[in-house]
Structure 1
Amino acid sequence: MPASFTDRLRGIHVATIVPMRADQSVDEVALAAHIETVLSVDGVRGLLLNGHAGENFLLSSEERRRVVEIARGVSATALIVSGVNCESSLDAAREAASFEAAGADGLLVFPTNSWALGVDPESVLLHHRMIRDASTLPMMLYGAPVGAGHWPYPADLLSRLAAEPRVVAIKEGSWEVAHYEANLRMLRGQRPDFCVLGSGDEHLLTCYIIGSHGSQVSLAAVIPELIVALWDAAQRGDWEEARRLHERIYPLSVAIYRDGPAGRAAARLKTCLKLLGRLRSDAVRAPQLPCTADEITRLTRALEHALA
């Protein structure tokens, strides 16, 4: 019997970047090479496309569809989840259908940017229903960082979203371990088969100790072998090895995700790949800015520490 979508979600899935040329156009050849490289790593189970690391909020609908098509062209068998990130529910529904036609296996529904200021819960439910009705694919929720305004779903709304049978998992990126554990316990109590993926790149070890079905993380786009090794050590219960790997990974996660200014992860991930010789151009799409000299210095040191 073929493995189910949730079975295939277990383990490490790479949240990919989207290489661009100096003119900010998508470099499709480099994108295919990036996807092929991360999928070649033993233990990588699949991909998250069109996430925040993939600059989904800056790509056009046509570009996001091409990202899925290119990934499916690279691999006929890898599990592919595509993010759906649209302000309009009509656009989100169209994209869900488009991604399914392009070869996606599942959808990760992002909260719209406008919800950070506050939203009626019924509007959130309507948005997810319209996406559900536009495709046949399993759906995942996005658990936003606790510091991101009204983006994170309160427990009662999260419970209502998880009651939909087509919603089978959450990318739990609340970026705060107490909130992560509270959501994990609530969702598994409501639906024991519900998949909670610990996806806070800075505290993967803590999530794995508490419990996690797997992770969709952009840090795996840069150091996939180390992220897979951390997951494998945790699955074996080898916490001494897991802590050793965490010590190697942690400074890089801070340099990419925590160091100010905020919102710089996509640019920093690309710069890391360029420093490693895996990307020719680390261009990002405006209004994002390229890495500064200070950022490059910090990323270089953190990479050297991780790979020593």
Structure 2
Amino acid sequence: MVSFHGVIPAHLLPFTEDLQIDETNLRRHLRALLDVEGVAGITTNAHASEVATLTADEQRRQLDIVLDEVAGRVPVISGVYQDGSAKAARIAADAEAAGADGLLVFPTVVFEGGAQLRPEMAVGHYATIADATSLPMIAFVYPATSGLRLDTDTLVRICSEIDSVVAVKEWSNDIVAYERNLRALRALDRPVSLLSSFSRSLLASLVLGADGILSGHGSVVVDLQVELFRAVEKQDLGEARRVWDRIQPFAEACYADPFLDGHNRMKVALAQLGRIDAAHVRPPLQPVSDTERATLRTAVERAELPRG
């Protein structure tokens, strides 16, 4: 079974002016990510690619394009973004049939009503998906303030009872919860990778310990994420701080309030860098303001990001 380590960007999804998948620019974007030495995988059908706005057919088409471009060079992880467990299982089985190497399992909105009090719901959701596919799965830990969160005990149950869960995308956005989850995973009797998604405090999370990075922010700064991850691995804190000083102001610009515009802003940055032609987003998202575009341009310049 594939294990997941290293820097794994979640790609963005360019749209045409009439809001259809822009295959030309998607392929261009994927090639740029794959050209970065040290990229250890590609994640598709996730938040960064606006999966909530995609039909099942569009999700499958996107996965097919990613698989074609990757051509076996690195693992391809496909998101399972669905509320019902049976429907999620069908998406997972379809991704396996298409050729995906792994699955990123999103929490269902059903959890919002108090799943922390019914941990068997989360365990059962993962178990249903695991019964439908042989692919390795990544459990997605949402922010500690979210109704969709998994607490540490539930996360341990999932990883202990479902062998195909081999990694965790840790997005708790709470460094205390992060360390608690990290220590609990390290205490398991089998290896489960922890992939940090702390895009606004990535250095701090990596210093505590992580097996990799899985983040939509990598769609723009994957080269810097690779440098940062390697510096921390070498315990070169001076170099890690130097790289983080380039990333941090750009991360703040991307993830400013309202948070829902984060990947919208990343698309704008890619367009400003000449890496995609345009930054169209599907409703209910709306284009960002001219003021935000100026802020992003300044952040891009401060980070000294390469142009396309």
Matching of residue 162 in structure 1 with residue 153 in structure 2: no
Matches within 5 A, 1:161-240: 161-163=158-160, 164-240=162-238
| Aligned counterpart in structure 2 of residue 42 of structure 1, from 37, 46, 49 | 37
Select the residue among 269, 272, 283 that pairs with 1:272: 269
The alignment status of 1:82 with 2:78, answered yes or no, reads yes
CA distance in structure 2 between the aligned counterparts of 1:183 and 1:138, rounded to whole angstroms: 20
- The whole-number CA distance in structure 1 between the counterparts of 2:123 and 2:204 is 31
Offset of residue 85 of structure 1: 0.7
Q: Match of 2:89?
A: 93
Deviation, 1:211, is 0.5
For residues 61-93 of structure 1, the C-alpha deviation after alignment (integer angstroms, 9 at most, x for no partner) is 111111111111012222111110101212111
Would you identify which runs of 4 or more consecutive aligned residues in structure 1 move more than 6 Å? none
In the alignment, what sits opposite 2:109? Answer: 113
Which amino acid in 2 is paired with 1:139? M
* CA distances 1:172-208 after superposition (whole Å, capped 9, x unpaired): 0111211111100011112451111111111111111
| 1:297 maps onto 2:294 in alignment | yes
**CA RMSD, 1 decimal:** 1.3
User: In structure 2, which of residues 20, 23, 27 is the aligned counterpart of residue 28 of structure 1?
Assistant: 23
- Equivalence for 1:242: 240
d(CA) in 1 for partners of 2:123, 2:207? 32
Q: 2:60 is matched with which residue: 62, 65, 70?
A: 65
Query: Are 2:270 and 1:260 aligned?
Result: no
Asked whether the 8 Å contact 2:28–2:276 carries over to 1, the reply is no
SS of the aligned residue for 1:222 comes to helix
Aligned partner of residue 167 in structure 2, secondary structure: strand
Q: 5+ unaligned residues in a row in structure 1: which ranges?
A: none
Structure 2 distance, partners of 1:72, 1:123, is: 32
Residue 214 of structure 1: CA displacement?
0.3
Query: How far off is 1:297 after superposition?
Result: 1.3
CA–CA distance in structure 2, aligned partners of residues 240 and 57 of structure 1: 40
The Cα offsets for residues 221-243 of structure 1, whole Å up to 9 and x where unpaired, read as 11221111111111111110100
Q: Equivalents in 2 of 1:153, 1:58: separation in Å?
A: 24
Q: Quote the Cα distance in structure 2 between the aligned partners of 1:62 and 1:264.
A: 25
**2:13 paired residue among 3, 14, 18:** 18
Contact 2:45 2:79 in 1 (8 A): yes
Give the Cα–Cα distance (whole angstroms) in 2 for the partners of residues 272 and 191 of structure 1: 43
State the aligned residue count. Answer: 301
C-alpha displacement at 1:110, in angstroms?
0.4
Structure 2 portions without partners, runs of 5+: none
Percentage of identical aligned residues: 36
CA shift digits 1:11-62 (9 cap, x unpaired)? 1111101111122111122111111110111111111111111111111111
The answer to which of 123-132 and 167-176 deviates more is 123-132
Distance 1:101 1:201 in 2: 32
Counterpart Cα distance in 2 of 1:53 and 1:242: 25
Cα deviation code 1:127-166 (max 9, x no counterpart): 1111111111011100101122x21112221111111111
Q: CA deviation at 1:116?
A: 2.5
What is the TM-score with the length of structure 1 in the denominator? Answer: 0.94
User: Amino acid of the residue matched to residue 75 of structure 1?
Assistant: V
1:10 deviates by 1.6
Once residues 82 and 273 of structure 2 are traced to their aligned partners in structure 1, the CA distance between those partners, rounded to angstroms, is 33
Q: Specify which of 119, 122, 125 is matched with residue 124 of structure 1.
A: 122
